[in-house]
Structure 1
Amino acid sequence: MLGQVQDPDLHLLRLFVTVVEAGGFSAAQGVLGLSQPTISQRMAQLESRLGYRLCSRGKSGFQLTEKGTLLLEAARGLLLNIEQFRQQASGVAGRLLGAVRIGLAESQDKAVSVKLATAIAAFRRREESVQLELISAPPAQLERLLLEQRLDYAISYFSGNQAAFDYQPLFAERQRLYCGKGHVLFGEAGVSRERLQQMDQVRHPYRFLKGGEPFQSQHSMAMAEQIESVLTFVLSGRHIGYLPCHYAQGWEAEGVLWALDPGLDFLVPFTLARHRAQVVGEAQQAFAQDLLAAFA
């Protein structure tokens, strides 16, 4: 039986809540960054500590036991109270304390970096002693860190499929279809859609889950999640691919990238996302205010 709650127990309870919210052991692998056997082992440790089964897995899928359902409610309440205590203990004497963790999609436009720097400068003018942490990562990783509540906010493009998140619009990024020097289309103007359809296009596994790209070719023998990797494929002269205009501009000026059809451009909305269940402290609220003001 669980007579006394210790730090390892809290880690196991967080894992249990994440597994339930993800919908099962398999679905939780990407969220937790752990293999299914490891998740199963840790769930077994928690059940051993508690002295009863929490869930069942079979042909009907993942399902909580009655005791598992009761523990889920209790665990959520406990974790929320711990976070509230941490935030309340930090915000004393009118001074902002603690830490603010912000995730940022990689390869941002200079204008975005300037606005983010403006927000940081405004925040530093407050009465505060706050540790600010900036983490650059691909959108899928930022989404996972938000789900794990290891970030307070994230600035990126998102699928919009996470019901657990709140999204606030910040700006839009223009994407354009490019080929590299040595490609059969390099230097050509007015390329037909039919001809473009025959080209091998770099596929992005996450970026536009809702099919936002106005053009998708019939062929794809290349896949990349990060912008730098897409650029590498395009520079090979064997693939076409979408890149942010601001990112491709310098390569275009050097004569190694060629814009295929500006009529196929589209805008990717970037938002400020946070986990709804995460308690927002005074420092987090203040930074979000400065951030939204800078981008406004």
Structure 2
Amino acid sequence: MLSQLRDLDLQLLRLFVTVVECGGFSAAQGELGVGQSTISTQMAKLETRLGFRLCERGKAGFRLTPKGEQVLSATRKLFSAIDTFKGEAQGMADKLLGELRIGLSEGLAAEVLEQVAEAIRRFRGRNQAVQIELLTAMPAELERRLLQDQLHLAIGYFSGNQAALDCRPLFRERQVLYCAQGHPLFEGREPSLEELQRADRVHHPYRPTQTREPLQSAISSAQAEQVDGVLTFILSGRHIGYLPKHIALPWLARGRLRALQAEALGFEAQFHLARHRGQRPSDALQALNEDLLAAFAI
């Protein structure tokens, strides 16, 4: 009785199909490259494994038993399924599969988004069937999700205090100090450093570069993690604060914002491509990581 299918059984079944297609033991000798006695012995082994006769052979000629007919049909289905599996498995060997969750820092410049889009274009040009999810969040949230393995990659500025994160420098973003129309420092001469230090500045609780900000002021009655919140406080005319240069640009063009000592007090925020060191990267993740670095010319 055949309870387990082994490689030998598959070989015997292939011999059986060949014998049937050739019309008998004698006719199958040339196709199989073995003698009639060997074919007879192999067929006997298969019948022993199955527990019943597959064919009648003798002076009346070769013919299948009813059970032999059923085994022939089942065997052809089996070999067809094996061929399908081999084809699909070969396709999977060369194909990127799975899903990727990518985090983006909020308020990225248009050119940065274009570079991310270029990386996705490159990735979609590969042999792949990958589901990609993009999530936009504050840097602190991106860092938390990376550490909890809720993201595979993230682009943002990070604290640098997490040894579990592998951070690759990607690009720099210019940060400038601004005030808005209605603020006492908006009109007139360039304010002095002492005047700026006395101004009420928007505090960003996460900004990892805060210790490197040229303007250090203890006066702050406003706090915002997101760039939209910082901008809103500044536009109120009651606070000064740092904004990415590309965020402030349209408001500068409308005459609503003023840069404050842009050269002396501006600074560069380093953005990174980060992933969790403890997370084993899939082939798809490695490929997208390569495409992102290529899109940013790294």
TM-score (ref. length: structure 1): 0.68
- Matched with 1:280 is 281
Q: Deviations over 1:103-156 (max 9, x none)?
A: 000011011011001000000000000001110000000001001101000000
Matched residue, 1:77: none
Aligned to 2:266: 265
Paired with 2:209 and 2:170, the residues of 1 have a C-alpha distance of 20
The one-letter amino acid of 1:184's match is: P
Structure 2 distance, partners of 1:100, 1:249, is 33
- Structure 1 counterpart of 2:203, one-letter code: R
- Alpha-carbon distance in 1 for matches of 2:202, 2:233: 7
> Could you tell me whether the CA contact under 8 Å between 1:180 and 1:258 is conserved in 2?
yes
Question: Which deviations, in whole Å up to 9, do the C-alpha atoms of 1:194-252 show, x marking residues without a partner?
Answer: 11111000001001366121112231000100000000000000000000001100011
Corresponding residue for 1:115? 115
Instruction: Find the residue that maps to 1:274 and give its secondary structure.
Output: strand
Alignment-derived partner of residue 142 in structure 2: 142
Offset of residue 191 of structure 1: 1.0
Instruction: Tell me the CA shift for residue 279 of structure 1.
Output: 1.0
Structure 2 segments unaligned to the other structure (5+ residues): 1-88
Quote the Cα distance in structure 2 between the aligned partners of 1:249 and 1:266: 16
Distance 1:184 1:172 in 2: 31
**Corresponding residue for residue 201 of structure 2:** 201
Q: Report if aligned partners of 1:120, 1:290 keep a CA contact under 8 Å in 2.
A: yes
Residues 210 and 195 of structure 1, relative CA distance in 2, 3 Å threshold: closer
Amino acid at match of 1:103: G
> SS state of the match for residue 293, structure 1?
helix
Identify the residue that residue 224 of structure 1 maps to in structure 2: 224
Q: 1:60 corresponds to which residue? A: none
Matched, 1:157 2:157: yes
Q: Is the 1:189–1:260 Cα contact (8 Å) retained in structure 2? A: no
Which one is further off, 181-190 or 261-270? 181-190
2:245 is aligned with what amino acid? C
Q: Closer, same or farther in 2 for the Cα pair 1:159/1:218, shift >3 Å? A: same
Deviation per CA, 1:2-39, whole angstroms, max 9, x where unpaired?
A: xxxxxxxxxxxxxxxxxxxxxxxxxxxxxxxxxxxxxx
Matched residue count = 207
Q: Which residue of 2 aligns with 1:81?
A: none
Taking the TM superposition and a 5 Å limit, the aligned residue runs for 1:245-256 are: 245-256=245-256
Deviation at 1:92, TM superposition (A): 3.2
Q: Distance in 2 between matches of 1:241 and 1:208?
A: 15
Q: Counterpart in 1 of 2:66?
A: none
User: For the residues of structure 2 that align with 1:189 and 1:287, how far apart are their CA atoms?
Assistant: 49
Report deviation, 1:255: 1.0
Alignment check: 8 A CA contact 2:101 2:133 kept: yes
Q: What are the residue-to-residue correspondences of 1:165-244 with 2, within 5 Å?
A: 165-208=165-208, 211-244=211-244
1:86 maps to none
* Mapped contact 1:159–1:210 kept (Cα < 8 A): no
Alignment root-mean-square deviation, CA: 1.4
Give the alignment's TM-score, normalised by structure 2: 0.68
Counterpart amino acid of residue 165 in structure 1: L
Matched, 1:104 2:82: no
- Point out 4+ residue stretches in structure 1 off by more than 4 angstroms: none
Mapped partners of 2:187, 2:273: distance in 1: 38
Residue 220 of structure 1 aligns to a residue whose secondary structure is coil
Look up the equivalent residue of 1:245 and give its one-letter code: K
Contact 1:179/1:260 (CA < 8 Å) preserved in 2?
A: yes
Q: Percent identity between the aligned chains?
A: 56
